[in-house]
Structure 1
């Protein structure tokens, strides 16, 4: 029996919602289902033959179908996005909140085991390593079972493992629970990009992604400030208890306010309802051939790795963002040394030095969020949007990072007034946050239906480099000094700064090159 191409082929008929840019591939009907009978049906050839099973395609009724997540009301979208933004801020916050209390952890466990400063510091970096491993299975699960169950399960487990950290009887147990907390805590960062693509149209996506991307940057900045005062008042275990309670609020909010947004899963629910109500097993979605559990998970589990190693856009930009993210964590871990030794700051005051980078991040959120929505409309020809239109704000902002590094390193090395190196970190924060916003939005636009996989590749690389680079920070500064050590970072970032222009100019040619077309 002939089967419509969309139902049988490898290319799904349904595409990711792109606001007014979306083109409908199915003829609009009054309902959300489309019934098609085979032209070579034996019933058509022989009137006395038994009726053949029909093929019924379940799809959206039109571009404005109210059940389509992108057409939901603003209030309905906002309650979903609010929980995601909250969790996206909370989980990176937990990554650095421990940093000021590392001496307390060393004292706590030194009576039962030999605890070196490097080993106790591993309780911070092991969390980021969890960010590396988590996305590799969370993204495939979200494309198999949908976004909502993955968000909910991970929110509950993140709460449980933070409480387990508070009760850890040994340093090894604390490190193990921190790793698991990081693995499941990376969920909103990993699949949040997919939810953005589900809910937000292209014309409004820039400003929403700008707010969402503040979490991975502002969380690590606020973490040491809050952790320093909380650890001083109640000890490091109270940091874990506070994180556990905050995570519990996120889990409850997820259970109450969030909904499923992934289009293939929602259409599959409609198809199941039609099969149950009509008794006709022929009802299927336009992507029915893709929805078998083994096939979906088997292909999705390797998709982030395929994108990472076989797509030049994903691999090069992921490494670029990862290196800059690693620089940020290196600065986070060395601020206490620099401002204590160079300026004599106390522990509480040192926490406030992170605000310079936070202020720069806020400035980039405001300017970048507006620019990423307005520039694509101006650059579009005949209303055709290209993912590369997200990159122009990053072209000048990429040079803010090396300038800020040179500024920060040499002003601190020469012991100028403390505000001067802080102003350098403002430039670094501006550039790094613009980098995360533009590349994150670019990946969403360039990989419809597979934003979660592209984001998983990006998050995995960023987290791995972010965990490893800071380990070399202290030895680098001891060998090269503050000025030349930071300048080394500046020269490397300067060499990579032209990459946004390269992909703005040639990105479309690379994306459409048959050599880089991956079977998803």
Structure 2
């Protein structure tokens, strides 16, 4: 029997962690997808290959592993073979998609709350006897600041206690703080509870991509990421439509009552449907069960890092920051994604003022303005679904013998990167010259197509590249994205007052044009960049 090394010993001998995409198609050899062939934990310092060792696989799922140079053996609990149905990678398709759909539903509800309140801000300011324009945008933006801070706490919590517990606790606290917003008696209370609602509501944004990476292979991941990404994009578009009419009919507090009702329904569904997907958590539970059944307290999980919870938590908090600081792949694409996402809130925070002043829309009809961008995002999703995987597979067959590379996710962005600034130019100059209202809405629709495709492609690329660390990579991106989305709208009205609507939106369009070449550069040089030894991160 060939000796098998302990996990801690492997960590000391391994080089700095490669990008996980290398594990599937890189220097470590191609590993089949969907059979649990690669396993790892975000609490560990390096990536770990779950290679088929020579140890005997026991019926209870534990390996008898003999340490090199030792006479004694250690009991290591692993999956019951490559086809173990308890491994989320081996779940049935219906079970996978049911869990992904519920995560997508939670992810949709949280961004819905970010913008649903926007059309009611003038009514709120009137009730609280203030006319501060900056305060009006801050009431909306403070929720997004909570979404920025949340992933730094919730992603590490999911590694300590599992993804399922974070979802459930986050759902309950989100309901509590949303109800508190509706009961607020002054604007300071509302701002505080809005921030807390965003903080706890960030759970699906922080760990949703990690859940998808837990259960999907390359062939399934594109569609799954599209479903998950649609929530943060479409939610802010639909929210103001509902919020505008609801505030006009029943008052701004009813917006929070409705959000609490929706969140309650989603929480009930998730409680009965969602299941744990985090492999280290599942193996830890299996280990504890086997210890009770066998009385063997020496059993330990194959993915047990043997780190104290405090150190695991600190490592998990630091990891997204290290990705942003030391990985140009994560940093550059997160900046692009953050700018694109911030545009949604930049436009949405000013629609009420612009279309009321320029076109005489009332509080109810101004909510319909937000639909144009939302329709554009739905069109973008359709385009991505029809073309994304086909292009990826065609490139893999033509260029790489059928093997996938993360860079094959970029081609849909070639078009989308141009549609975004084109839509901004059309929107800005149409409202500047009071062109018939359908024209600027067409501009926001075109921009919405670009926003959706760019966001989905970047998110999926990050998951493909940082497979085992997908939750951390998307948490890093979410933090930057939410900070941009919270801060940039604060200066929207001031920018429009100084530059005008035409040149103000043109400035945003020029920034988008400047970022467009990133797509082509990463398509050509992305693989070299992520495999460059200078940028290999040791966690």
Q: TM-score, normalised by structure 2?
A: 0.89
- 1:371 deviation in Å? 2.8
Match of 2:213 among 176, 197, 208: 197
Q: Which runs of 4+ in 1 moved over 3 A?
A: 5-8, 14-18, 20-24, 27-32, 38-42
- Structure 1 residue 258 and structure 2 residue 258: aligned? no
- Matches of 2:8 and 2:296 in 1, distance apart? 16
- 1:9 corresponds in structure 2 to 10
The match for 2:506 among 473, 484, 487 is 487
CA contact (8 A) 2:96 2:215 kept: yes
Q: Please report how far the alpha carbon of residue 129 of structure 1 lies from its aligned counterpart in structure 2 after TM superposition.
A: 0.4
CA drift of 1:39 comes to 5.1
Query: In structure 2, the residue corresponding to 1:34 is in which secondary structure?
Result: strand
Query: 2: distance between equivalents of 1:468 and 1:7?
Result: 43
- C-alpha contact 2:36 2:89 (8 A) present in aligned 1: no
Matching residue of 1:468 = 487
- C-alpha distance in structure 1 between counterparts of 2:9 and 2:178, whole Å: 46
Q: 1:40 maps to what in 2?
A: 69
Q: Any gaps of 5 or more consecutive residues in structure 2? A: 25-31, 39-49
1:438 to 457, 463, 466: 457
Give me the whole-angstrom Cα distance separating, in 1, the residues matched to 2:192 and 2:103: 25
* Counterpart residue number, 1:19: 34
Partner of 2:195: 179
8 Å Cα contact 2:287/2:300 also seen in 1: yes
Q: Structure 1: any 5+ residue segments left out of the alignment?
A: 43-51
More displaced, 23-32 or 346-355?
23-32
CA distance in 1, matches of 2:388, 2:301: 34
Contact 2:137 2:349 in 1 (8 A): no
Aligned length in residues: 505
Give the Å deviation of 1:20: 6.4
Match of residue 377, structure 1, among 390, 393, 397: 393
| Distance across 2 between alignment mates of 1:130 and 1:41 | 51
Shift of 1:3: 6.4
| Deviations 1:496-520 (CA, angstroms, capped at 9, x unpaired) | 1111111121111111111111112
CA contact (8 A) 2:76 2:302 kept: yes
Which position in structure 1 is the counterpart of 2:421? 402
Give the TM-score, by structure 1 length: 0.92
From 314, 321, 334, the counterpart of 1:318: 334
Give the 3 Å change call, closer, same or farther, for CA 220–429 of structure 1 in structure 2.
same
Q: Is the 8 A contact 1:204 1:373 kept in 2?
A: no
- Cα distance, 1:270 vs structure 2: 1.7
1:6-85 alignment, distance < 5 Å:
6=7, 8-10=9-11, 18-19=33-34, 22=37, 25-27=51-53, 29=57, 31=59, 32-38=61-67, 40-42=69-71, 52=72, 54-85=73-104
SS of the aligned residue for 1:56 comes to strand
Paired position in structure 2 for 1:447: 466
Q: Residues 292-335 of structure 1: CA distance to partner in whole angstroms, max 9, x if unpaired?
A: 31232121111111111111111111111111211221111222
Q: Is the 8 A contact 1:213 1:437 kept in 2?
A: yes
Task: For 1:4-403, list aligned pairs within 5 A.
Answer: 4-6=5-7, 8-10=9-11, 18-19=33-34, 22=37, 25-27=51-53, 29=57, 31=59, 32-38=61-67, 40-42=69-71, 52=72, 54-110=73-129, 116-289=132-305, 292-380=308-396, 381-403=400-422
Shift of 1:115: 6.2
Quote the offset at 1:5 in angstroms.
Answer: 4.3
Q: What is the DSSP-based 3-state SS (H/G/I as helix, E as strand, rest coil) of the residue aligned with 1:500?
A: helix
SS of structure 2 residue aligned to 1:119: helix
